[in-house]
């Protein structure tokens, strides 16, 4: 895969992630518009989500590389957690103490773990379907 194709893949992943995040924010903002303003999308929040989506999109290129899965997954998890902390805690101007920062990080890692389990199941089914659909060649000809 050449560099242009990798950048195109990362940008398309960024767009998908951004669309999902903003859709969830809009739905939550509509449901809780009277109670809290945390989920009401603003232009600054949209830019933070775009930055976060971009970092996740480019970090996801790491998962498509050849090699062992565990080190790639750990590096990807660390990159995603660093992006989460940088964008939402530092960039979001939240007053976070040590305890709430740890709770937010654990919450993010739980969601990350669920997403990676779903990804692993889908990839396994895809690989199994690909192996099962290989063409049969007769050995008795």
Q: Is residue 35 situated within a structural domain? A: yes
Q: pTM (2 decimals)?
A: 0.69
Instruction: Give the Cα separation of 69 and 75 in Å (integer).
Output: 10
Q: Is residue 97 situated within a structural domain? A: yes
How open is the CA angle 105-83-5, to the nearest 5 degrees? 135
Report the pLDDT averaged over residues 101-112. 86
Q: What is the pLDDT of residues 30-89, one digit of tens each?
A: 777 666 666 667 788 788 888 888 888 888 888 777 666 788 888 888 988 988 887 777
* 86-111 CB burial, b ≥16 within 10 A, e <16: ebbbeeeeeebeeeeeeebeeebeee
Q: Is residue 138 situated within a structural domain? A: no
Q: Is residue 141 situated within a structural domain? A: no
């Amino acid at each position: 895969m050449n560099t242009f194709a990798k950048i195109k893949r990362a940008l398309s992943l960024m767009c998908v992630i951004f669309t999902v995040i903003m859709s969830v924010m809009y739905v939550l903002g509509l449901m809780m518009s009277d109670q809290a303003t945390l989920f009401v999308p603003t232009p600054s929040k949209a830019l933070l989500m775009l930055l976060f989506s971009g970092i996740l999109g480019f970090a996801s290129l790491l998962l498509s590389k050849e090699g062992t899965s565990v080190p790639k997954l750990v590096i990807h998890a660390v990159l995603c957690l660093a992006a989460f902390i940088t964008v939402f805690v530092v960039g979001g101007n939240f007053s976070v103490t040590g305890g709430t920062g740890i709770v937010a990080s654990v919450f993010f890692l739980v969601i990350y773990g669920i997403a990676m389990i779903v990804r692993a199941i889908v990839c396994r089914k895809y690989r199994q379907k690909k192996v099962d659909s290989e063409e049969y060649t007769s050995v008795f000809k």
